[in-house]
Amino acid sequence: MAIQDTPEAWRVTSTATPFTGKKTSMRTDRVVMPDGSTVSRDYQVHPGSVAVVALDEEDRVLVLRQYRHPVRHKLWEIPAGLLDVPGEHPLRAVQRELYEEAHVKAEDWRVLTDVYTTPGGCDEAVRIFLARDLSEVEGERFEASEEEADMELARVPVAELVRGALAGELHNNCLVVGVLALAAARAGEGLDALRPADAPWPARPFEA
């Protein structure tokens, strides 16, 4: 048996949306189980996200420190954002996030990995990119507001981020998955063997 995730959709007899928020909503589906019984499944409906491990010439990753109210923590994270512009290509979305959050652009882009963040309770899919050949963007910086107004920016060596993730000192899922995927790619076939930035993404299909 191939160790590979496969699409499958069990029959849904009814659907309700008890809550609709600004960017996400909650959904309740009545789902038919293999034994024929029907159960309710509640989950968050999410537009999807993109994130980027931006790696500079000194082998440092660009990270941001931001307050996250649900967990009552300031977390170190990699630049990321929602796929909330209809029809936008994921690469364009992540390039915009890198510009807005860090005022940086990159010449070399690859797909690092694709994940479902919490598939037991949310349909969010995240594509994590690798960006190299970084440079500062000219012109005015994006005007930050709300939590982002207090955001800190740093460049941290890859080895330090890997150590912090394994030590339980860093908890943001995109950062942890991203830096560990980076380390794994280096230990395997190398970064140049990663998928191209426009590789298909069945979880969030887009036009090339």
Report the C-alpha gap between 152 and 164 in whole angstroms. Answer: 18
pLDDT bin (cut points 50, 70, 90) of residue 151 is: confident
**Catalytic: 97?**
no
Q: Which residues, including other chains, have CB under 8 Å from residue 189's CB and lie 6 or more apart?
A: none
Give the pLDDT score at 155. Answer: 98
The single residue of 143, 146, 148, 160 carrying the catalytic annotation is: 148
Distances (CA, A) of 30 to 12, 23, 47, 119: 6, 23, 22, 17
Where exactly does CATH 3.90.79.10 map onto the chain?
Answer: 49-193
Q: Which CATH superfamily is domain 49-193 in?
A: Nucleoside Triphosphate Pyrophosphohydrolase (3.90.79.10)
Q: What is the pLDDT of residues 1-34, one digit of tens each?
A: 789 999 999 999 999 999 999 899 999 999 999 9
> Does this model's pTM top 0.85?
yes
